[in-house]
Amino acid sequence: MNFQLRHNLLITVFIIVIIVAMWFLMKGSLYSSEPASLTKNQTLTEHEAPSQERSYLEKIDYFVLQEFDANQTLSHLVEADRYYNFKDSPALLINPKVTTYDQKGASNYTLSAKRAHYLDNGKVSFKGQVDVSSINGIKHKMNTEELLIDTNTDDLTSHKKVTYLGENAKVVSQGMLMKTKDNKMKLTGDVRINQDSGQQMLTNDLTIDQSNNQKHYHSDNNTTYLSTANKIYAQGMDMDMQKQITQLFGDVKILQDSGSIIKANNLTVDQSNGRELYKTNEHIHYQSQAADIRAKVMYYDAVAQKIKLSGGVVGRYE
């Protein structure tokens, strides 16, 4: 009887030992499947990572980098909520902000975005929506695949599609160049201005000038103005975004949906208060199937489709 009892106890102990050993093995397996330390080779979470998950070599929270010029004066301050260093890719900045300083050490411009890459040559490449603000109150907002700031010259450059977000319009271009010290930006290549009121303008190499508290879009290249009932061709344009008045320069041709043609010089388009008025006092030539009229002054309400010609009017009717 005692022998039987001892035999049963041995079997029970053996089973317990096996269960404990298996438990330790399972625990070790679970630990080995956990991610590595936050400082080495961990895959970024979906919230933190770029579009595709990649492992990083180093992570720094609250990243700050100061850059000084030859006179040991602070020239740039690069800040970010997080900094990720990769083996074969540029470093990634989350919520980056770059501040530029003048030769006296006063802040000049600030650029901010959700993401940027810090390149080996010292340039910072912003991604997505970028806000550019100067100390004198000038602000620019734009979306782009890449916006580079050169930390040697402070110039901003993009060779990819740029969507500039204006107050009453969105401007789409093939690139951009900005010399921050001049407070002037050039949207390069083919440019399309989509106004909130529905009109469009097509031109090339548009300058956005906000110096001296103004807001002007200017181009010396051929420009096409498109509205609901008219298409206007000109040799250049200047749009005052504050007054909502556009000057179309040079030889101007208005093509109406009815087929009529109006030729003029230096046309003013007044879009203030929801209007669309075309005005000029420089030699008007109106041609339709039924009339050929010349005058010196034109007042054209494009919404009401009413034209008033005055000043030495000479007409021929068929």
Calculate the alpha carbon distances from 26 to 15, 19, 35, 36, 170 in Å. Answer: 17, 11, 17, 19, 59
- Say if strands 223-226 and 200-209 run parallel, antiparallel, or are unpaired: antiparallel
- DSSP 8-class letter at 18: H
Per-residue model confidence (pLDDT) at position 52: 39
Instruction: Give the DSSP letter string of 237-286.
Output: EEEETTTTEEEEEEEEEEEETTS-EEEEEEEEEE-GGG--EEEE-S-EEE
Instruction: Give the DSSP letter string of 179-204.
Output: EGGGTEEEEEEEEEEEETTS-EEEEE
State which residues of the chain have pLDDT below 50.
Answer: 1-3, 5, 9-10, 13, 17, 19-21, 23-48, 50-53
In contact, 133 and 139? CB cutoff 8 Å? yes
Give CA–CA dist 52/49, Å, rounded.
Answer: 7
- Residues near 13 by Cβ (< 8 Å), separated by ≥ 6? none
- DSSP 8-class letter at 59: E
Per-residue model confidence (pLDDT) at position 228: 85
Closest CA to 300 of 225, 204, 198, 218: 225
**Tens-place pLDDT, residues 151-174:** 777 889 999 999 999 888 999 999
- Say if strands 236-240 and 216-219 run parallel, antiparallel, or are unpaired: antiparallel
Calculate the alpha carbon distances from 295 to 176, 283, 302, 312, 317 in Å. Answer: 42, 6, 18, 6, 15
Per-residue model confidence (pLDDT) at position 42: 40
Angle at 103 between CA 102 and CA 106, to 5 degrees: 45
The pTM score is 0.78
Per-residue model confidence (pLDDT) at position 218: 96
Per-residue model confidence (pLDDT) at position 72: 85
Structure tokens that stand for 224 in this block: 């096409």
Gyration radius (Cα) of the chain, Å: 33
Give CA–CA dist 174/137, Å, rounded.
Answer: 26
Residue type, 182: D
CA dihedral sign, ordered 115, 85, 68, 185: negative
- Residues near 164 by Cβ (< 8 Å), separated by ≥ 6? 140, 141, 142, 170, 171, 172, 173, 176, 185, 187, 208
Closest CA to 301 of 278, 282, 284, 274: 278
